[in-house]
Amino acid sequence: MIHNIHHLHCGTMCPVCGPLFGQSSLLAHVVCHCLLLETDQGLVLVDTGLGIQDYLHPKQRLGRITTHIGRIETNLELSAIAQVQKLGFKPSDVKHILVSHLDFDHAGGISDFPAATVHVLSSEYNATQNLKDFKNRARYKPQQFKQHRYWNFIEPLNGEAWFNLNRVQGFNLFQDEILLIPLPGHSAGHCGIAIRHKDGWLFFCGDAYYSHLELDGQHKLHTLNQLERVFAYDNVQRIQNLKNIQHLAQHENSIELICAHDPIELARYIAV
């Protein structure tokens, strides 16, 4: 059973050119929105943002180019481990980590929770092993998680329908209160995490979209669309899953949608 959902601000990046991210300012304001769930099986972290070592040694962990272009704000208080402790928990209370994907701004905090089991689609983890691909080298920083011991690799096979999408088969750890929903496109094994709460669902979509402005399907965010196209592993799949998410936003009132990087969405829950 899920007892509580905490929204965490686990990183801020301010790359040049806000319009690339659907924003009007010169510098974009890009956050790392993560979740901490209190459950009967311990704490569950949904994505991890940037970790302690990313803040302490950014060039060694992330590379000079990523550090320079991303303009990452150095603030250890924004690490997930610091926020877990601020909420009165111990890092060892985090028993499970669910990651939408393993891009550096989602996986950096894995190393701060060495006893937690990381649940990820096998197709996503396998993609991190192919660093000959330039796009993979830019997005994945295996030094963030290569020493981690506890993994649960989940085959990206469609199971039962979940609204107009499908859950993965074989992930039954939380008695259907937390579901993994494959959303490939942005990365090879990208997935969303659906969390049952109150009388509906909170659907964490990771990087399947970047801005709440995309959800109504009416905004013509051409520069943002081009950025998402550049980052995409498979742009056709990305666009199809974005359409599926837009349908949910427009027709399913029981689903509350959030993505990983929109400061407007995060500000609904906490001050940023």
- In this prediction, residue 161 carries a pLDDT of 97
> How many CA atoms lie less than 13 Å away from 152 in the CB half-sphere?
15
Task: Walk me through the domains of the chain, giving residue ranges and CATH numbers.
Answer: 2-266 (3.60.15.10)
- In this prediction, residue 271 carries a pLDDT of 86
Residue-wise pLDDT for 120-134, tens only, equals 999 999 999 999 999
User: Is 84 in contact with 43 (CB distance < 8 Å)?
Assistant: yes
- In this prediction, residue 19 carries a pLDDT of 76
Residues of the chain where predicted confidence (pLDDT) is lower than 70: none
Provide the whole-model pTM. 0.96
Tokens (6 digits) for 264:
């407007």
Residue-wise pLDDT for 209-218, tens only, equals 999 999 998 8
- In this prediction, residue 47 carries a pLDDT of 98
Pairing of strands 255-258, 200-204: parallel
SS3 36: strand
Tokens (6 digits) for 156:
């990206």
Residue-wise pLDDT for 60-102, tens only, equals 999 998 998 899 999 999 999 999 999 999 999 999 999 999 9
Taken in order 20, 22, 24, 30, the sign of the CA dihedral is: negative
